[in-house]
Amino acid sequence: MTETREPVIEARDLHFRAGASHILRGVDLIVEPGEVVALLGANGSGKSTLVKTLVGINPPTQGTVRLLGEPLTAGRRTTVDRSRIGYVPQRANAGGGIPSTAQEVVASGLLHGRRLALPRGWRDRVAAALTQVGLADRVHDPVHLLSGGQQQRILIARALVREPDLLILDEPVAGVDVASQEAFATTMRRLVDGGLTVLVVLHELGELEPLVTRAVVLGHGKVVHDGTPPQARRDHDRAGHRHQHPHADDNTLGEQARALDLEVRP
Ligand SMILES: Nc1ncnc2c1ncn2[C@@H]1O[C@H](COP(=O)(O)OP(=O)(O)O)[C@@H](O)[C@H]1O
Ligand SMILES: [Mg+2]
């Protein structure tokens, strides 16, 4: 093994067009090992599109992506080791239309690429992942009977069950109650201390603020800020002044509708 520490994510001049819309317009993003990068920006600025491009769901119309030092090339079998990458999509519905248990949904995180059978010991790994999100006692519960926040934690467990080196999360705490957000932040702290690299789309920094090492802000499909997280700067600049939070529900329905739409698009 070489000692050179390559970027975990290296995106160069990424463009993504869908029909007439030019959604990503030249994004450069480098994430180094151990960083926790928050991806921020207004609704519709292209955050979900960017993370989908990074994980290979949206092949870029221009530009290149390297993950874990390997190129992600559309239409060809990639040498990227997908088992080292966990992805938590923006929440639509963890269970889909068919009742699945928490165990089944989390176990599906162990299937990737050419792995079509669950590995030996999968039940223990699923139990460990559910424990990490505080849902060990729900292993046999149908996910559609769980609360929205619990379903979100199931999706996080599905990503964590791989024991990834890179975790990409799209609004993981949207619609999740404060206690669960705190528990999530604690879990993330432990994983980051263990060497995990994180790219997380957030509506606001919230409970994850102490963990975030850098903020990248998108505006109209371009990076408009890359550096100090805005919240930290705000505390420094005007301590004591109450921050104006955007309303938590100003995007939820539209975002979810869009997420659903994107899930069914061929
Ligand atoms: N596949 C697609 N086809 C057409 N428009 C899309 C597609 N995906 C996203 N969009 C549009 O691109 C813009 C960015 O969307 P999105 O990446 O979901 O933003 P964000 O996650 O920052 O809210 C929005 O205007 C959205 O409607
Ligand atoms: Mg989004």
Q: What percent of the chain has pLDDT over 70?
A: 80
Give the distance (Å) from ligand 2 centre to CA of residue 121.
35
Q: Which ligand is nearest to the CA of 264?
A: 1
Return per-residue pLDDT of the chain as tens, 266 residues.
Answer: 445 579 999 999 999 999 999 999 999 999 999 999 999 999 999 999 999 999 988 999 999 999 999 998 766 677 888 889 999 988 765 445 667 899 999 999 998 766 678 889 999 999 999 998 889 999 999 998 988 888 888 999 999 999 999 999 999 888 778 888 888 899 899 999 999 999 999 988 988 999 999 999 999 999 999 998 875 544 544 443 434 444 333 333 333 333 322 222 22
Closest residue by Cα to atom 18, ligand 1, is 48
Which domains are present in the chain?
9-264 (3.40.50.300)
- CA 44 to centroid of ligand 1, rounded, Å: 6
Q: What string of H, E and C letters represents the secondary structure of the chain?
A: CCCCCCCCEEEEEEEEEECCEEEEEEEEEEECCCCEEEEEECCCCCHHHHHHHHHCCCCCCEEEEEECCEECCCCCCCCCCHHHEEEECCCCCCCCCCCCEHHHHHHHHHCECCECCCCCCHHHHHHHHHHHCCCHHHCCCEHHHCCHHHHHHHHHHHHHCCCCCEEEEECCCCCCCHHHHHHHHHHHHHHHHCCCEEEEECCCCHHHHHHCCEEEEEECCEEEEEECCHHHHHHHHCCCCCCCCCCCCCCHHHHHHHHHHHHHCC
The ligand 1 site (C-beta within 6 Å) comprises 18-19, 21, 23, 41, 43-49, 258, 262, 265
